Structure 1
Amino acid sequence: MGAIVVQAFITLDGVVQAGGGPDEDPEGGFEHSGWTAEYDARDGAAEGVEIIREWESRAEALLLGRKTYEIFARSWGAWSENADGIEGEFTRRYNRIPKYVASRTLTELGWKNSHLLGSDVAATVTRLRAEPGGEIRVWGSTQLVKTLAAHDLIDEYRLMRYPLVLGNGKRLFSDGFAFTRLMPVDTRTLASGVIVNTYRPLRT
């Protein structure tokens, strides 16, 4: 069985919107795009890069909401596979693995190896999760994560928590999120001040 793993860069107030770069996702008038940059430029930030590199080495598929898919498609789906460092490394990997997309509006997907989940997202993801394989990776995609949690389909959360309060933006655990008990399985504090927490749901 595959494991569905949610990974996120997250602030102390739970915001996950547009941490990666300027104008990544201005939806809702969000003005803090690229909020991870200051911390990622600090001494010791290479620790975080190596952690993500190790995480992504286990990814056998991406599971994304429409908005995150479009962000990924115009970055990882467009960059050169010959680029140096993790840009080229992740571009090569993401191009090759299947991408499953939850969307009510898209009818065609331009990034190779991409597939629409269809109208019953929970049922389709349940079938994908039941197939043999490695980790099915979820980045961003807050509405999709909420749906997956409501159907108890998430196997692990890996959160890189930045010591930062933004005050607004899309939150990973928004109002109406499914009641969930989690067990911490790993915690690491990086020299940059970022704390990496891994949790698994407690299932009875």
Structure 2
Amino acid sequence: MRKLKLQMQLSVDGYVAGPNGEMDWMRWDWGDDIKNYVKDFTAPVDTLLLGRKLAEGFIPHWAGLMQDPATADHFTKKMVDTHKVVFSKTLKESAWENTDLATGDLVEEVNKLKAMDGGDIVTYGGAGFTSALIKAGLIDEYHLFINPAAIGDGMPIFKQLEGKLSLKLIKSQAFEIGIVVLFYVPAS
């Protein structure tokens, strides 16, 4: 069975965005150390899962970067070329290339994707979509990129939990930029 991995940027105080979606606290001036980590992390990935709200900015952002030779690097190509599945209750058809819509029950749709042949699956969110995946117990690996900033208030991804989620730390790694990656799997 394929693994569903979460790669998510968080503030030190556990938010993925500010109260109005602000992400100006995230560090993006990455060095080769963290770029290589992400390159290795995404190498076995052949499917991206996205919530509709994130997809509306995510997919055009990467497609735009691919148009500029200065930003069309290996990772940009990976984000553009990788098959995407966008979860939506409102869209009737995909406006994006290489992208399918999933409109049915979240658990059924994700389990169907995980049972298919192929590489790993990664999700980048958004906050509501990620919260629903976590609540349903669908995440196999948590790769949390903790940024060196506290923002005081914002959008959490663990607030829908109805009980405790126990995690087992597999690896932690600090990067020159100040980001620490915590790699967890569910403990049970």
With normalisation by structure 1, the TM-score equals: 0.82
Quote the residue 1:156 is aligned against. 141
Partner of 1:23: none
Q: Counterparts of 1:42-53 in structure 2 under 5 Å?
A: 45-53=31-39
* Pairwise CA distance, 1:192: 2.3
What percentage of aligned pairs have identical amino acids? 27
RMSD of the alignment, in Å?
Answer: 2.1
1:35 aligns to what?
Answer: 25
Deviation at 1:83, TM superposition (A): 2.8
Within the candidate set 165, 177, 200, 2:150 is matched to 165
Pair 1:116-2:104 in alignment: no
> Is 1:131 aligned to residue 121 of structure 2?
no
1:61 aligns with 2:47: yes
Structure 2: 5+ residue stretches without partners: none
Deviations, residues 16-41 of structure 1 (Å, cap 9, x unaligned): 127xxxxxxxxx534x432223xx44
- Residue 152 of structure 1: CA displacement? 1.9
* Structure 1 contact 59–136 (Cα < 8 Å) conserved: yes
Matching of residue 80 in structure 1 with residue 71 in structure 2: no
CA contact (8 A) 1:81 1:91 kept: no
DSSP 3-state at the match of 1:139: strand
Contact 1:122 1:147 in 2 (8 A): no
2:77 paired residue number: 92
Unaligned ranges ≥5, structure 1: 19-27
CA contact (8 A) 1:14 1:171 kept: yes
Partner of residue 71, structure 1: 57
How far apart in 1 are the matches of 2:78 and 2:67?
9
Q: Which amino acid aligns with 1:60?
A: D
Alpha-carbon deviation of 1:64?
Answer: 0.5
Cα 1:51/1:81, change in 2 over 3 Å: farther
C-alpha distance in structure 1 between counterparts of 2:68 and 2:163, whole Å: 42
Corresponding residue pairs, total: 188
The reply to whether residue 201 of structure 1 matches residue 186 of structure 2 is: yes
Residue 73 of structure 1: how far off its partner (Å): 1.6
CA drift at 1:175: 4.6
SS in 2 for 1:29: coil
CA gap 1:48/1:79 in 2 versus in 1, 3 angstroms: same
How far the C-alpha of 1:143 sits from its partner, in A, is 1.8
CA deviation after TM superposition for structure 1 residue 146, in Å = 2.1
Asked if structure 1 preserves the Cα contact closer than 8 Å seen for 2:134 and 2:158, the reply is: no
**Length-normalised TM-score, structure 2:** 0.88
Question: 1:92, CA displacement in angstroms?
Answer: 2.2
After the TM superposition, which of the residue ranges 110-119 and 73-82 deviates more from structure 2? 73-82
**1:49-69 deviation digits (Å, cap 9, x = unpaired):** 221122122211000101111
